[in-house]
Amino acid sequence: MRRANAFVFTAFSHFCAFSLMLLISLGEHAPLPSRPSIFWSVLAGILGGVALALFYRALASGQMGLAAPVAALIGAAIPTLADIALEGAPSRG
């Protein structure tokens, strides 16, 4: 069985998803988002794609016991810390 390069596979899947969303938005005549929104969306897509490719590479190399819990912890910690920074820590009541 031939293995695909994780980075090429992830880049291709992101390109296909981007193309589909672009076609749908053009078909619906959706307004163009603001420049900061476009910037943050592109940055999030790139970072998410790189993270997913690294995760696939770790799984393919047999590091599942380490990669999965670290990915879960980071995946939960980043939004939580961002929310605490933006909204403040939760209160007791």
pLDDT of residue 85: 94
pLDDT of residue 1: 47
pLDDT of residue 16: 93
pLDDT of residue 2: 61
The sign one gets for the Cα dihedral 73, 76, 79, 84 is: negative
Identify the segments of the chain with pLDDT beneath 50: 1
Question: Model-level pTM?
Answer: 0.62
Q: What is the rounded CA–CA span in Å between residue 93 and residue 74?
A: 28
* Side chain identity, residue 43: L
